[in-house]
Structure 1
Amino acid sequence: MKALVPTGDLDSLVRYDDVAAPCPKPDEALVAVEAFSVNRGEFFLLARPREGWRPGKDIAGTVVRAADNGTGPGVGERVVAHPASAGWAEKAAVPTSSLAVLPGSMTAVTAAALPLAGLTALRLMRRIGGVLGKRILITGASGGVGHYFVELAAASGAEVTAVSASPERGLRLTELGAADVVHDVAEATGPFDVVLESVGGGSAPKALLKTAKRGTFIWFGQASRQPATFSFFDFFAGPESARLHHFHYADSDVADGTDLATLVRLTATGRLHPEIGRETDWADTATVLADLRDRRIRGKAVLRVEPAPTSGADRTATHAA
């Protein structure tokens, strides 16, 4: 079957190749992939790929072989899935605990935008606990996680301030319920009961200073790839006795499939709106990765898995335009 594999070349990170079809474990279903979405974290992994690793964590498609142990959806059911890797392919094996069935009204493109970003936003909500009446600041809000979180938190009664470098992107966050959108952390009017930081570098210490006394600072990403420096004495400038939490979306007591089912239900009932900034054929994946790196895509980028080129198994996947 065809799959996208790492090239190790920073100018064009993936190419098509012929690989063996996956052999599912007893608790895994085999999914014919119809669409997948790309995450910034995958770009960084592709820049220095591990031997034998293939990208792909957010997919949607149809079950073509049910799990041998009898769990999960049957053959022919449409699903959204969150495999550990190797989802950028014509087929993927996925544990049934990481699958959710799709309603007939939801397209594979919409569903593929849900997994990693949606799971992160949902689990950030769970980490915070009750958000009704809380003032929340979120940095790096123009990406997939930010859009989902703003909509979920605002609908649950939080007063959300979003940090977005782009006025255009900020407008959409306002439409999703943000009470305020600023273009730099320093512009946010604090203090905030909860601060969600995802940029790192100089953003993190500035965001800390916006945290209320005994508030909560949740560090869930470092998109800038720059380390952040905190001083013990910074806390006395306002966030005295604040709690600092490291957050990893995969550290969850709730199975991926269960949370994916929640995201599907919220989307199907019009309470959650995936923000898809780019939809194209998977032949364009290398270009999409570059645009994602350079922040030229708002929200999620989704690639449709259509027949791969036949002009050579090692053809580099690039934008055809």
Structure 2
Amino acid sequence: MKAVVTTGDPQAPTRIDEIDVPVPGPGEVLVRVSAFGVNRGELTRAQRLAPGSRLGWDVLGTIEDDSSAQVQPVLALADGNGWADVVAVHRSRVAVLPDPGESVDLAALPVAGLTALAAIRRAGPIIGKTVLVTGTSGGVGGVLAQLAAAAGADVLEVRNRLSGTELPVVDANSLAVTGREVDVVFDSVGGTVLHAAFELLKPHGALVSTGNTVREPLHLPLDWGHRRPGVSLSYVHLFDELGAAAPVAEDLRWLGARWASGQLDPRVTRVEDRDGLDRTLAALREREFHGKAVIRW
């Protein structure tokens, strides 16, 4: 079968190789991949891993089952090896879904959606609270803003203009002078945007970071603890959250149902066939598009 592997070449970081079909281990099923999402973390891995390494977390496909004629569409979180014809995934990370038809948008949901859910759980109850979400032109921030609004929060977005939304928008450059205090900040940008967002946080509020896309050191006011007594600061990294009890399949099923009912938009703005993977990775590296990218396999 065919699978994507790394090359070690920054200009062409992946190639398609022939590899053996995986043999499912205890509790695993084989998923035939029809499409997969591309995450910034995979771009980083493609640049750092040794040549010949596998890639891929977000998978949309069908369960391979020789004993049944039934085709079951699934959304899965693979273990860094999902960019292939077939991948073995533990059942605890596979959700059977209604038929998505020709759409491949669901392929962008696993990492972004699961990270967003983990961040909201970390922040605690948000119904009736004012919530600021940064980076909403990206995957995690975009899903977070939608889920927080659906959970009953009053949501403010910090986003690029290319991200379509009906939610209020706060310009990142004017955050510090809006004068509006917030109960919770969800930040995936970092740098000066996080600093400005922190200035709006109420005492005993919560700031949950899910990334640092600007790749800058974190700066907070010198007296941040005195000025914001009781504030909580935390970082959510999805793969640190995935213990044995993590409800991955249940969460994927729930996210898929919200997508199917039109209540959740993964904000996919780029869809390519498999020969466009390196173009997509290059465009992601150069920040040439906003939103999520999906590769039809």
Whether the aligned pair in 1 keeps the contact of 2:139 and 2:292 (CA below 8 Å) is yes
Which residue does the alignment assign to 2:105?
110
Equivalent AA in structure 2 for residue 240 of structure 1: P
TM-score between both structures, scaled by the size of structure 1: 0.84
> What pairs with 1:38-187 in structure 2 (closer than 5 Å)?
38-50=38-50, 53-65=53-65, 76-107=71-102, 109-164=104-159, 166-169=160-163, 172-173=164-165, 175=166, 178-184=167-173, 185-186=175-176
Name the stretch that deviates more: 291-300 or 83-92: 291-300
Structure 1 residue 254 corresponds to structure 2 residue 267? no
Aligned with 2:61: secondary structure?
strand
- Structure 1 residue 14, shift from structure 2 partner: 0.9
Deviations 1:222-242 (A, max 9, x none): 112222133551333x42331
Equivalent AA in structure 2 for residue 207 of structure 1: A
2:290 maps to which of 285, 298, 308: 298
| Cα distance between partner residues in 2 of 1:64 and 1:82 | 16
Whether the aligned pair in 1 keeps the contact of 2:6 and 2:50 (CA below 8 Å) is no
RMSD, aligned α-carbons: 2.2
Which residue does the alignment assign to 1:287?
279
| Cα distance between partner residues in 1 of 2:200 and 2:69 | 49
Name the stretch that deviates more: 25-34 or 73-82: 73-82
Equivalent AA in structure 2 for residue 102 of structure 1: L
User: Where do 5+ consecutive residues of structure 2 fail to align?
Assistant: none
Distance 1:74 1:120, change over 3 A: farther
Structure 1 residue 21 corresponds to structure 2 residue 21? yes
Name the stretch that deviates more: 137-146 or 204-213: 204-213
Structure 1 residue 196 corresponds to structure 2 residue 186? yes
Distance 1:32 1:154, change over 3 A: same
| Cα distance between partner residues in 1 of 2:100 and 2:296 | 18
- Structure 1 residue 65, shift from structure 2 partner: 3.7
Name the stretch that deviates more: 56-65 or 31-40: 56-65
Which residue does the alignment assign to 1:317?
none
| Cα distance between partner residues in 1 of 2:178 and 2:6 | 40
Equivalent AA in structure 2 for residue 211 of structure 1: L
Identity %: 38
- Structure 1 residue 120, shift from structure 2 partner: 1.1
- Structure 1 residue 78, shift from structure 2 partner: 1.4
Whether the aligned pair in 1 keeps the contact of 2:32 and 2:62 (CA below 8 Å) is yes
2:269 maps to which of 253, 272, 277: 277
| Cα distance between partner residues in 2 of 1:53 and 1:181 | 41
Equivalent AA in structure 2 for residue 212 of structure 1: K
Aligned with 1:63: secondary structure?
strand
Distance 1:107 1:153, change over 3 A: farther
Count of equivalent residues: 293
| Cα distance between partner residues in 2 of 1:227 and 1:128 | 23
User: Where do 5+ consecutive residues of structure 1 fail to align?
Assistant: 68-72, 306-321
| Cα distance between partner residues in 2 of 1:286 and 1:52 | 15
Equivalent AA in structure 2 for residue 233 of structure 1: D
Aligned with 1:303: secondary structure?
strand
Distance 1:189 1:167, change over 3 A: farther
Whether the aligned pair in 1 keeps the contact of 2:7 and 2:52 (CA below 8 Å) is no
Aligned with 2:127: secondary structure?
coil
| Cα distance between partner residues in 1 of 2:66 and 2:141 | 34
Aligned with 1:84: secondary structure?
coil
